[in-house]
Amino acid sequence: MSTQHKKLRVALINDFEIVVQGLDALLRPYADEVELVPQTEISQGVDIALYDCFAMADRGWSTLNVLSADENVKRIAVFTKSIPQSFVDRMLDMGVTGVLSKALGGEELMRSLRAIDSGEHVVSDSLSIELERGTWPGRRQGLTERESEVVALICQGMPNDIIAVHLHLTLNTLKSYIRTAYRKMGVTTRSEAVLWGVGYGFHMTPPSTPDTSAGCLTPRPIESSGNVTDSATPASPAETAR
């Protein structure tokens, strides 16, 4: 005899509509088992807060602390592409119940959510697998995921030195990403890039999360590439740090 499961309420903590739509499509075949609700409905109670850290500005520990203290959140899972073991250990210590890979298929993701809801600690084996079927703002226009992250932070008004710190890049490497992204976008200035970003689903203000700013939990080693001059990316006079 088959076991009757309750319907899970899952809130995705991510402000990018294209990411939310992607997860909704992945879970749509399981609509009788899971309901994906907006993060604004956490106050009504959710079984799992699924924290997607794409293109967030800080490291995200404060957001996890807020979610951990929220009585309306039963379980917390982090949804990411890759993460160091030390971060996984720290998350589990602070009450996170799952660290799930964005490479998971719908069936495996649903199985993982069920296990997390039952109290099991789930860490995906495929966390280091490169996400190939995922999506992000600007992908259809040719931007890579890293270029999309950079454009997202530019649209939030961050100057290059702050973006470099958040994404663990050297300034020269960051400017190389910006130059390549601008070429794909067909723009030459920061103000044009922001206008382009707004038209393609990027936010002009930092993403919101329950009671605090969200953060990306996926650190990367500082990347370095070639010699790129400081003049590669013109700065806007209105460019300010958060």
Residue range 39-62, pLDDT digits in tens: 888 999 999 999 987 655 556 777
Distance of CA 54 to the CA centre of its chain: 2
| Confidence at residue 134, expressed as pLDDT on a 0 to 100 scale | 55
Strand-strand pairing, 212-213 and 208-209? antiparallel
Locus of tokens 């008004």? 157
Question: Which is more confident, 154 or 90?
Answer: 154
Q: Name 223's bridge partners.
A: 169
| Confidence at residue 169, expressed as pLDDT on a 0 to 100 scale | 85
At the top level of CATH, the class of 139-232 is mainly alpha
Return the domain boundaries, the chain.
8-123, 139-232
CA–CA separation, 54 and 72 (whole Å): 24
> Cα angle at 41 between 38 and 44, to 5 degrees?
150
**Which superfamily does CATH assign the domain made up of 8-123 to?**
Response regulator (3.40.50.2300)
Burial grade of 51 (CB within 10 A; 0-12, 13-18, 19 or more): buried
CA–CA separation, 97 and 95 (whole Å): 6
| Confidence at residue 64, expressed as pLDDT on a 0 to 100 scale | 84
Average pLDDT of the residues of the chain: 77
CA–CA separation, 160 and 158 (whole Å): 7
The reply to whether 139-232 shares the fold of 8-123 is no
Q: Name 113's bridge partners.
A: none
> Cα angle at 115 between 95 and 5, to 5 degrees?
125
Q: Could you read off the pLDDT of 140-175 as tens digits, one per residue?
A: 788 888 889 899 999 999 999 999 988 888 899 899
Locus of tokens 């404060």? 62
Indicate the length of the chain as a whole number.
242
Question: Which is more confident, 35 or 127?
Answer: 35
Q: Give the torsion sign (CA, 59, 128, 141, 236).
A: positive
CA atoms within 13 A on the CB side of 48: 31
Nearest CA-CA partner of 192 in 235, 227, 158: 235
> Mean pLDDT throughout 54-81?
81
Which tokens in the block code for residue 106? 């719908």
| Confidence at residue 205, expressed as pLDDT on a 0 to 100 scale | 59
